[in-house]
Amino acid sequence: MKFALDATRLERGYRQLQTRVHPDRFAASTEAERRVAMQWATRANEAYRTLRDPLARARYLLQLKGFDTDEESNTSMPPDFLMQQMEWREAAAQARAERDARGLERLRDDLDEARDAMLDQLERALDTGQYDAGCSLVRKLRFLGKLEEEIEEALEG
């Protein structure tokens, strides 16, 4: 099973499946059938949610391979990423303090770019069996996601 996937085909497959199992197709059926439909539709949603999001998909794949991304407890990062992380944090704090929306947007674009690059690395790592590297990338991406969320909130507030 590979990490890279065709998003359009995934979406099509998900929709085809929901077309068969969704409780709306069984609203006039027996209670037993309604219950089974709900269970199936629930599983289809869970599968789609996991596969559609690269980070969730990576975690799932790693878990299948017996690797724990260990995001809660393992906060150690390579020194260069730590430096980069601090720079971004400082830039975000400064832009927020100065209410510099343009600065925040620039930072968000930088983070987007960094994330895309990391996702490419993640795809290469996972599809060539480098699972430890994959775990480390998942942790980095999680950090990026959190920072991006904070920036979005600052932009709205």
Residues binding other proteins (CB under 8 A): 1-2, 4-6, 9-10, 13, 15-33, 35-38, 40-42, 45-46, 48-49, 51, 152, 156
Among residues 21 and 144, whose Cβ is nearest to other proteins? 21
- Select from 139, 151, 120, 130 the least CA-distant residue to 81: 139
Structure tokens at 3: 């990490």
Cβ atoms of residues 55 and 142 within 8 Å:
yes
Cβ atoms of residues 1 and 61 within 8 Å:
yes
Cβ atoms of residues 142 and 72 within 8 Å:
no
Among residues 32 and 97, whose Cβ is nearest to other proteins? 32
Cβ atoms of residues 142 and 18 within 8 Å:
no
**Shortest Å, Cβ 35 to other proteins:** 7
Among residues 33 and 116, whose Cβ is nearest to other proteins? 33
Among residues 25 and 142, whose Cβ is nearest to other proteins? 25
**Shortest Å, Cβ 116 to other proteins:** 14
**Shortest Å, Cβ 47 to other proteins:** 9
**Shortest Å, Cβ 112 to other proteins:** 11
CB contact set of 155 (below 8 Å; sequence gap of 6+): 101, 104, 105, 108
